[in-house]
Amino acid sequence: MDRPHLTRPRPWVIVPGIWNSDPDHWQSLWQAEREAADPGSAVRIEPGSWSDPEPTDWHAAITRAVAALDEPPVLVAHSLGVLAVAGWLRDVGRPPIAGAFLVAPPDPAAPDFPAAAAGFTEPGSRTTTPVRLVVSDDDPYCSAERAIGFGETLGAEVVRVGALGHVNVASGIGRWGAGRELLRDFEHRL
């Protein structure tokens, strides 16, 4: 079946982790590049609880960001944002999005999981939304095995990217060009 030709890229909803993504984080860099090329095509969630995250606040922030766009977006989530998106997908049922690109989920059962984010839980159900889950083999916040299990629960395509830590600024990946290619490939198949 032929896909309709898109005249512009699908919009994105950026869903960072706790404390938001700083300006040097790949999410921020990708968002700035996308906005420069196509203003209004990438929005970031705006919960009121970045540092003391509340799941219902983040759920509402995702809903607002998706509703602000004129066509179904791709959610681009990192870290705690992955758990927020998984919970949102569970609660929304048939969400008005094209897909979800999820990177480096934390493990809420791990000892280093932030106490401030205790209300967030691991994915608990399968979704019909296309999902790609990107997993690092040496993520200090979630073992690869646990992350792969999260992907299986969601029904996601899991992509292992080797030893990239938490796939963040501390990992030294900069713009993370290889990740951008993973997202581009995922979007192409939607």
DSSP 115-168: GGGTT-----S--SS-EEEEE-TT-TTS-HHHHHHHHHHHTPEEEE--S-TTSS
* pLDDT the model gives residue 3: 45
Q: Is the dihedral of CA 174, 180, 32, 60 positive or negative?
A: negative
CA separation for the pair 10, 91 (Å, rounded): 23
Question: What radius of gyration, in Å, describes the C-alpha atoms of the chain?
Answer: 15
pTM: 0.95
* pLDDT the model gives residue 7: 60
The pair phi, psi for residue 112, each rounded to 5°, is: -90, 5
CA separation for the pair 43, 171 (Å, rounded): 24
**Contact of 169 with 22, CB cutoff 8 Å:** yes
* pLDDT the model gives residue 8: 73
Helix (H) or strand (E) holding 187: helix 177-188
- Per-residue pLDDT of the chain (190 residues), as tens digits, is 444 545 678 999 999 999 999 999 999 999 999 999 999 999 999 999 999 999 999 999 999 999 999 999 999 999 999 999 999 999 998 889 999 999 999 999 999 999 999 999 999 999 999 999 999 999 999 999 999 999 999 999 999 999 999 999 999 999 999 999 999 999 999 9
* pLDDT the model gives residue 1: 41
Helix pair angle (80-92, 55-67), 10° resolution: 70
CA separation for the pair 131, 102 (Å, rounded): 7
- Residue for token digits 């600024």? 169
Q: Is the dihedral of CA 35, 21, 19, 148 positive or negative?
A: positive
